[in-house]
Amino acid sequence: MTEDLEKKLIEHNEKKLSFWTKRGTEWKLVYKEEYPTKSEALKREKWLKSGVGREYLQNILSEK
């Protein structure tokens, strides 16, 4: 979750963020959602990181 998506993507690629994103290379945006409140965004992020949420994302991305 972020309020500045472009900045966060740059930080991921410069390996300035968490342990988990430092291991990747050349991150690119493939999917995004927008929510009116931080609490709604965090709730959705938590769900997307669950098993069901990951499956949902894989289905969406396989259609592209």
CA dihedral 41, 13, 7, 46 (to 10 degrees): 10
What is the model's pLDDT at position 17? 65
Give dist(CA 13, CA 23) in Å, integer: 10
CB 13 within 8 A of CB 28: no
What is the model's pLDDT at position 19? 75
Output 31 or 64, whichever has higher pLDDT.
31
Domain ranges of the chain: 1-30, 35-64
Q: Is the pTM of this model over 0.75?
A: no
